[in-house]
Amino acid sequence: MSPRSASVNEELRRRSKERLLQAAVELVGERGYDATTLGDIADRAGSARGLVSYYFPGKRQLVQSAVHRLMHRTLEEALEREPRTAEGRERLARAIDAILGLARDRPVLMRQHMAGLLQAEVGFVPCPEQRRLAELLRDTVARHGSRDVERDYPMLRAQLMGAVFAALVPGVPMPVPELRAELFERYRLDWKLGVPPDAEAPGGTTCDPDLSRFFATGVSDRPGRTDETGRTVRTDPTDRTAQSK
């Protein structure tokens, strides 16, 4: 058997990393951060456990990257949905609704993410996923008419983080509609822009349990395919019979 080419190996590594990101988001959302181990994530992803440390220095960094991926792809989807628009006020409204929607629909995951950002030993970890999220928010600020994006982008980021935190504080959460109203007033946005709380979400659902569209694992992820270690990878993470021993 001829050895795999460098391009094939690179593609396998990319898909393996994508599966780890998706598995991290799913498991932390289901169980919480402390109840999720790196071994659990590797098993859900169908990857060798040693690959987790190859891609990420630790669980907190993996989860941060995974949540930032979910955030930037959710934001991207909201900004580019039909009818597509370049109008700055509508795009900012969509951005606010997208981030607040994550706090509303995925509270366990987002609460764990916010808690991780406040941990001194790890804190905020820049990564490609976070940089893409920042690019989208910077562009939104610019389209909204900012004359100083370098000043206004950090303020928008802080406002959104503060609103997510306020929505998720155990025992005293603020209602998302009230937080939305405050942000819309600050940025002088009409309530009808974006996706108002009493409007039907695009696609007819507010929380799609299938996150696979945000993680490009490739169409050839089917039983019998092997990863870069030569292990058989299953498509269904609950189907352990397809995983090689």
Amino acid sitting at position 205:
T
Q: Which comes out higher in pLDDT, residue 127 or 155?
A: 155
Q: What is the per-residue pLDDT across 134-153, written as a single tens digit (0 to 9) for each?
A: 999 999 999 999 999 999 99
Q: How far apart are CA 34 and CA 111, in angstroms?
A: 12
Q: How far apart are CA 192 and CA 178, in angstroms?
A: 15
Q: What is the per-residue pLDDT across 41-95, written as a single tens digit (0 to 9) for each?
A: 999 999 888 889 889 989 999 999 999 999 999 999 999 999 999 999 999 999 9
Residue 111 pLDDT more than 80? yes
Q: 205-236 burial, b if ≥16 CB within 10 A, otherwise e?
A: eeeeeebeebbebeeebeeebebbeeeebbee
Q: How many CB atoms lie within 10 A of CB 175?
A: 12
Query: What mean pLDDT is reported for the chain?
Result: 85
Q: Is the Cβ–Cβ distance between 123 and 117 less than 8 Å?
A: yes
